[in-house]
Structure 1
Amino acid sequence: MNFHFYKYHALGNDYIVIDPNKAGVDLSEENIRLICHRNFGIGSDGILVGPLFQGKSISLRILNPDGSEAEKSGNGVRIFSRYLVDEGYVTTKEFSLGTVGGEVYVELLDDKGSQIRIDMGTVTFQSTNIPVTGPEREVLNEELVVHGQRLVTTCVSIGNPHCIVLYDKPSRETALDLGPTIENHSRFPNRINVQFLKVLDRNNIQIEIWERGAGYTLASGSSSCAAASAAYRLGMVDNEINVHMPGGLIKVDIQNGGHVFMTGSVTQVGKGFFSEELWARIQAK
């Protein structure tokens, strides 16, 4: 039976998978916003579209709930990998996936795909690669004034852009208050994901997250990798880091040259059909 959608979460960061090989959905910005809306649609932090095939290669698109497209999502890639296992698209423990932000490599740590390790690639702190306005430089410990607060920020790209803010007491309220302004600050021409970071010890950090195009989220794989990489680059942590978020824990391992690996869980929530009324509106014509 070909369901219209499949829903998963990774530590409370939930995505809907829409498989174009099974259901033709018109993914206009308006329809994306409707499907992701938690009152008027199914509700999610985004939509994963795929698998998309080019020869033997598999790729996916990652759509934010505001209708924009993300370059990369650590949790999204883990969720999509689990979907590929569940639906029999992959039968090996290791495989690669294409994203707008580059190819990622996947390792299944169990037969069900409930624990997955992702090779997220190499991070960069170079301003032109993130991008951040101003002269070319590594964006480390730079001041950013937001709502009268002088914030200390470090910026990084891991295939998508991140601004990490050192903060004594990160909270949901902090992310909701400062996150939107930082995301849309003129310093970041493509907008930016935001993490509020507290270092707990040499192997543990705590973050709160404001995601570009999605808003406040309980967990994020790429945010975990970005925050851990920033803390490591600043000499605040060792190379194996537990990232604590409201949704749970992700393990990040940083190897030579800033190469980042991430391990975390994935849970299937359910699968189903859009109502006739909604399907008539969003079905690809």
Structure 2
Amino acid sequence: MRFWRAHGLGNDYLVFEGGSRLNPALVRAVCDRHRGVGSDGVLEPVHPHAGADFGLRIHNPDGSEAEKSGNGLRIFAHWQVHQRGAPRRFTVWTPGGVVRCAVEGDTVRVGMGPARMWGPERRCGHDAWRVDVGNPHAVIFSQPEEWRAVGAAVEASVEGRTNVQFVEVRDGVAHARIWERGAGETLSSGSSACAVASVCVARGLLPSPVTVRMEGGDLTVSIEDELVLVGPVEAVGRIDVHPAWWAAHGGLP
């Protein structure tokens, strides 16, 4: 079986180019960085719905699925254009809704839809602004030393679990640390950047467009009729998985 690897500011995904369906155990094995290929998640092309041009399922490394992923969508869009010859503009169905994508070289722009936010709620001793951008987020305006432990606790405190961001606004930039649902600490996250930007603008902390600076680098989010996420994608290469390994971990030919 074959995968295509790329990353968005260090948040790496594998696009599954095989014909069989994935299952949670197989995804966990593939994403294992010591015994498998290693990845922050797997992108599985599927039949589109709701009139979209393409369809996408997004698998987390723990085998669960995400409704939407900003970086995953940007990588998937880059793959469609540069590997499959798709036009530079198209729509993609995800379980979190249909999004619009535009690819210019290695820069990908994704219309992530509107944000719905509420709060703050008290979660694990911290005020968390809840945001839904097609997937769930909890934005906390502090960066405690034990932020990883807090992130894991806040993730588990929400029914269905949530992504968590720890934010400090300084020098006109939103500095964010990311705890991703189903993945843990992550160098960057597109949907997290959208959640952070939404709360910063709603609270009057920053104007649109917002630069969200994460450990992996900067993403730009504009608040228009919808959230518009812009950032780079870097292709790494294609990976052929040995048939014996694939079969041993439950993969179908």
TM-score range, shorter chain: over 0.9
- Cα distance in 1 between the residues matched to 2:167 and 2:60: 23
Structure-2 residue corresponding to 1:118: 110
Report the alpha carbon displacement of residue 89 of structure 1 after superposing the two structures with TM: 4.2
Among candidates 68, 73, 78, match of residue 74 of structure 2: 78
What secondary structure is seen at the aligned counterpart in 1 of 2:116? coil
Q: Does the alignment pair 1:215 with 2:193? A: no
Question: Are the equivalent residues in 2 in contact too, given 1:33–1:67 (CA < 8 A)?
Answer: yes
Question: Are the equivalent residues in 2 in contact too, given 1:175–1:209 (CA < 8 A)?
Answer: no
Q: Normalising by the residue count of structure 1, what TM-score does the alignment of the two structures yield? A: 0.83
Runs of 4+ deviating beyond 6 Å: none
What does 1:53-68 align with in structure 2 at a 5 Å threshold? 53=48, 57-68=53-64
Q: Does the alignment pair 1:255 with 2:224? A: yes
Question: Are the equivalent residues in 2 in contact too, given 1:251–1:264 (CA < 8 A)?
Answer: yes
Among candidates 178, 184, 195, match of residue 156 of structure 2: 184
- Cα distance in 1 between the residues matched to 2:3 and 2:208: 38
Structure 2 unaligned segments of length 5 or more: list them. none
Letter in 2 for 1:196: F
What secondary structure is seen at the aligned counterpart in 2 of 1:87? helix
Q: Deviations over 1:27-74 (max 9, x none)?
A: 221111000011110000000001535687311100001111100000
Question: Are the equivalent residues in 2 in contact too, given 1:6–1:272 (CA < 8 A)?
Answer: yes
Among candidates 239, 242, 245, match of residue 272 of structure 1: 239
Q: Does the alignment pair 1:87 with 2:87? A: no
Q: Does the alignment pair 1:283 with 2:251? A: yes
- Cα distance in 1 between the residues matched to 2:75 and 2:81: 10
- Cα distance in 1 between the residues matched to 2:88 and 2:22: 31
Q: Does the alignment pair 1:154 with 2:146? A: no
Report the alpha carbon displacement of residue 25 of structure 1 after superposing the two structures with TM: 4.1
- Cα distance in 2 between the residues matched to 1:264 and 1:14: 14
Among candidates 29, 36, 45, match of residue 34 of structure 1: 29
- Cα distance in 2 between the residues matched to 1:78 and 1:50: 14
Q: Does the alignment pair 1:193 with 2:191? A: no
Question: Are the equivalent residues in 2 in contact too, given 1:5–1:273 (CA < 8 A)?
Answer: yes
- Cα distance in 2 between the residues matched to 1:14 and 1:219: 9
- Cα distance in 2 between the residues matched to 1:283 and 1:25: 8
CA distance 1:206–1:269, change in 2 (3 Å): same
Question: Are the equivalent residues in 2 in contact too, given 1:175–1:216 (CA < 8 A)?
Answer: no
Q: Does the alignment pair 1:243 with 2:238? A: no
Structure-1 residue corresponding to 2:12: 14
Structure-1 residue corresponding to 2:99: 104
Question: Are the equivalent residues in 1 in contact too, given 2:81–2:88 (CA < 8 A)?
Answer: no
Letter in 1 for 2:164: V
Q: Deviations over 1:94-125 (max 9, x none)?
A: 11100000000011123xxx101111110001
- Cα distance in 2 between the residues matched to 1:261 and 1:213: 24
Q: Percent identity?
A: 37
Report the alpha carbon displacement of residue 152 of structure 1 after superposing the two structures with TM: 1.8
- Which structure: larger Rg? 1
Q: Deviations over 1:171-192 (max 9, x none)?
A: 7x6432211100001xx21110
Q: Normalising by the residue count of structure 2, what TM-score does the alignment of the two structures yield? A: 0.93
Structure-2 residue corresponding to 1:134: none
Structure 1 unaligned segments of length 5 or more: list them. 126-137
What secondary structure is seen at the aligned counterpart in 2 of 1:226? helix
Report the alpha carbon displacement of residue 200 of structure 1 after superposing the two structures with TM: 1.3
- Cα distance in 2 between the residues matched to 1:53 and 1:39: 33
Instruction: Please give the root-mean-square deviation of Cα atoms over the aligned residues, in Å.
Output: 1.7
Report the alpha carbon displacement of residue 277 of structure 1 after superposing the two structures with TM: 2.3
Q: How many residues of Structure 1 are paired with residues of Structure 2 in the alignment? A: 251
